[in-house]
């Protein structure tokens, strides 16, 4: 390996990864943190990634979990037990997040709820004077993500979006190589997610609300409907009322690095095709197969996803590729490599993942809070808003069946059908925040 290549595959961020302290040493480290230096966190939505985020937070000795909020008391009890097993004190429990936000003992709110709740909980947390770590995607509509951006600017609190690959060392290394210019001019990029671990969502009848669940609170601003298990924990993401399917689940992670690497934010146009090709008769509403094509004027980007097939481009279930005139850089969560075009550049074998991106992402957020350095956030609101906008544009192109053109200055499309999908309709007495 020559010195030039070595420089590309080494990054200072690897040195920051560190090792997680064993439980006994972590407990001892907590006792040495003064009350003034503690960062007190609360979690809204503890069933999946919300708790994964919290688990990463409490690996840091200055973090104290003081509150959990969930509409499902079964989840609250389970997560409380999980925290006690880690040697942590029992937090206060809430079903209504607004009641929780009244507490003066909370510094940071982690939002891990379904996407349709992000905007309200995000804005209310900022208005209550809390810093916010919000799961991706930022919001479930273009109007919401713009409101969340404006609310962040107004309240001046620290906001980190859960696009943790921005803190993953080997992703950073790959972008450093990309920006070296060795690949030559990039004319097209690809991003994809092929999901073979997920199958059909069989239709099931509506059922009584499970014991311990505040279903009306779960619905929030979404349309009123009878309880159906398909639209509840986890599988809610396959329905437009609550989320945007694989595009806003995996897409915001992967498309984000295309935008980051290429230094672009907004395409001039998008078109998309697809449908329910794998499971046409199941209960999913969002497409199980989809391709979106984005035009950035000097390069194109494609997004592909399938459900029920696991072998994607470059024999990778998920990933990104930057295709240049001298070679192609292929990147996923396991590592990255460079494949030369007709031996124009040196091949680079797979450079493997090092460290935990989520842990580093949380550490970056905590450091920015402690040092009041919002400019050093790895995935602040601008990053989250940018990729959420692009993902929403792809879904809107699919749902309208049109090639849609975006006017960045007006924050609208040139299509009336597309513009109708910019702003969600809030139901059940909830109002879209105004900023």
pLDDT digits (tens, 9 = 90+) for 167-211: 999 999 999 999 999 999 999 999 999 999 999 999 999 999 999
Contacts of 326 (CB under 8 A, 6+ apart): 182, 183, 184, 340, 341, 344, 345
Q: How many residues are given for the chain?
A: 435
In the numeric block, which tokens belong to residue 140?
Answer: 């479930």
Fold of 182-354+381-419: Dihydrodipicolinate Reductase; domain 2 (3.30.360)
> φ and ψ at 24, to 5 degrees?
-65, -40
Percent of the chain clearing pLDDT 90 (strictly above): 89
Nearest alpha carbon to residue 165 among 332, 310, 302: 332
The pLDDT of 29-56, averaged and rounded, is 93
Question: Between the CA atoms of 410, 413, 418 and 421, what dihedral angle is there, to the nearest 10 degrees?
Answer: -30
Confidence of residue 23 (pLDDT cuts 50, 70, 90): low
pLDDT in the model for residue 289: 98
Percent of the chain clearing pLDDT 70 (strictly above): 94
One fold for 3-165 and 182-354+381-419: no
Mean predicted lDDT score pLDDT of the chain: 93
Contacts of 4 (CB under 8 A, 6+ apart): none
Round the CA-based radius of gyration of the chain to a whole number and report it.
22
The structure's pTM equals 0.94
pLDDT tens figures, 271-321: 999 999 999 999 999 999 999 999 999 999 999 999 999 999 999 999 999
Domain 3-165 has CATH 3.40.50.720: yes
Q: How far apart are CA 271 and CA 293, in angstroms?
A: 5
The pLDDT of 103-130, averaged and rounded, is 98
The Cα diameter of the chain in Å comes to 65
The domain spans of the chain are 3-165, 182-354+381-419
The pLDDT of 87-112, averaged and rounded, is 97
């Amino acid at each position: 390996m020559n010195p030039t290549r070595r420089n590309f595959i080494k990054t200072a961020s690897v040195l920051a990864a560190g090792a997680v302290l064993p439980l006994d040493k972590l407990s001892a480290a907590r006792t040495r943190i003064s009350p003034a230096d503690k960062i007190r966190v609360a979690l809204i939505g503890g069933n999946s990634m919300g708790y994964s985020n919290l688990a990463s937070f409490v690996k840091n000795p200055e973090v104290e979990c003081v509150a959990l909020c969930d509409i499902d008391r079964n989840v609250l009890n389970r997560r409380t037990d999980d925290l006690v097993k880690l040697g942590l004190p029992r937090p206060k429990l809430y079903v209504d997040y607004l009641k929780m936000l009244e507490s003066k003992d909370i510094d940071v709110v982690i939002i891990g709820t379904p996407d349709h709740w992000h905007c309200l909980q995000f804005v209310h947390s900022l208005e209550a004077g809390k810093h916010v770590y919000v799961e991706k995607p930022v919001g479930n509509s273009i109007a919401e993500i713009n409101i969340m951006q404006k609310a962040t600017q107004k309240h001046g609190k620290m906001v980190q979006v859960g696009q943790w690959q921005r803190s993953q060392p080997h992703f950073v290394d790959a972008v450093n190589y990309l920006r070296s210019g060795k690949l030559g001019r990039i004319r097209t990029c690809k991003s994809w997610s092929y999901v073979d671990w997920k199958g059909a969502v069989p239709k099931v009848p509506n059922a009584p609300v499970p014991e311990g669940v505040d279903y009306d609170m779960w619905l929030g601003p979404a349309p009123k409907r009878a309880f159906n298990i398909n639209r509840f924990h986890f599988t809610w993401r396959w329905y437009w009322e609550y989320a945007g399917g694989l595009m806003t689940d995996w897409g915001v992670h992967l498309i984000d690095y295309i935008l980051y690497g290429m230094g672009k934010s907004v395409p001039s146009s998008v078109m998309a095709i697809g449908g329910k090709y794998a499971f046409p008769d199941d209960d999913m509403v969002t497409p199980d197969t989809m391709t979106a094509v984005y035009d950035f004027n000097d390069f194109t980007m494609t997004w592909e996803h399938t459900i029920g097939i696991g072998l994607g481009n470059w024999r990778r279930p998920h990933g990104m590729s930057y295709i240049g005139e001298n070679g192609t850089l292929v990147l996923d969560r396991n590592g990255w490599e460079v494949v030369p075009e007709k031996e124009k550049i040196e091949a680079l074998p797979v450079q493997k993942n090092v460290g935990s991106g989520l842990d580093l992402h949380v550490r970056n957020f905590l450091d920015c809070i402690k040092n009041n350095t919002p400019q050093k956030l790895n995935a602040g609101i601008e990053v989250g808003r940018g990729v959420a906008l692009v993902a929403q544009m792809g879904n809107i192109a699919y749902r309208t069946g049109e090639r849609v053109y975006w006017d960045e200055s007006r924050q609208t499309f040139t299509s009336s059908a597309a513009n109708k999908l910019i702003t969600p309709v809030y139901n059940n007495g909830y109002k879209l925040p105004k900023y």
